[in-house]
A and B are shown apart, each in its own frame.
Chain A
């Protein structure tokens, strides 16, 4: 998969800051997914499997 190029004219500092912001957003979204997964398991417990297949 090719890397997405930052917009032309960005300084190295701007690119560095944008990269770290992207990483922080990715980590926050991953944490949110884990949080909802954990809450679902805790809330439903064993009943998570108790559904028509």
Chain B
């Protein structure tokens, strides 16, 4: 009885076409299951976790470091699969996500739920058993936060969804740090804060370009609920906060002179692009300005973390303040 009710709920989350394709039972390809893991998001998670792991004090055996990164990657992938399971109805209505395996009917929602749950549990326990239970607890917290707090609770209810939910994406460097050092200190908190404050302007710049998509799907992103003007103002405020927060690793330890210089320059460009977007208002230049800020935000995060990594490799870390 409960299984039937569950199946009905699952069906109601999908459009008729997708249900028909699932009923035809072709089953997903291996590529479809890999797509459930959101490989592009996973690559950013692995990269930031690697930086946390390398920047942390103490030495870690390379084999254990690789195992830790694999577990973090699989845990992030599991979060993606569980997100796609829950958001299949939203995904089907948005152009950016309509091609995903569940809305396309190539994978049944309950399969994605099982796949994500098994991978999440496997990643957490493997990380705990082989590397560190503190890191495993943080990984479990990250997965739980992304699935329950962001996906199930906030995403459909408040325009602050990505502000609060952004913490899930900010945890990976902290997990890497905990895996290598066995502790969570102000150094890893600085890395967390950079991603946490970076997330709103990054996603709101994207949402400005795709507000119609979000409105159709019923997702209360800031441009849909508060309008473009309020979104541009919020982007500017978060960008102004991000500039100095990007410099925190210099104060807390892992960042050196090179990092401080790069972070200051990149932060200034980030703020400059946010000011340009704010000033563009509703003019036609607003669209390209939002796209430019969105593109630069990805470069910003990559360059900051890559600089931390380079400083570690060159032995320049911690030579700042």
Residues of A within 8 A of B (CB): 11, 13-14, 17-18, 20-21, 23-24, 32, 35-36, 38-39, 42-43
Contacts and interface: CB of A to CB of B under 8 A. Distances in A.
Interface residues of B, number: 17
Contacts of A32: 122, 126
Nearest 8 A-B pairs (CB), nearest first? Answer: A39-B130, A24-B30, A42-B63, A20-B30, A17-B27, A42-B61, A38-B63, A17-B29
Contacts of B67: 35, 38-39
B28 interface: yes
A39 B29 CA distance: 31
Contacts, number: 41
B33 interface: yes
Contact of B130 (A11, A23, A24, A43): A43
Contacts of A24: 30, 33
Nearest to B27: A17
Contacts of A18: 27
Contacts of B61: 42
Interface in B115-170: 122, 126, 129-131
B125 to A, nearest CB: 11
B94 to A, nearest CB: 27
A13 B33 CA distance: 17
A14 B63 contact: no
Contact of B26 (A13, A23, A38): A13
A36 B126 CA distance: 8
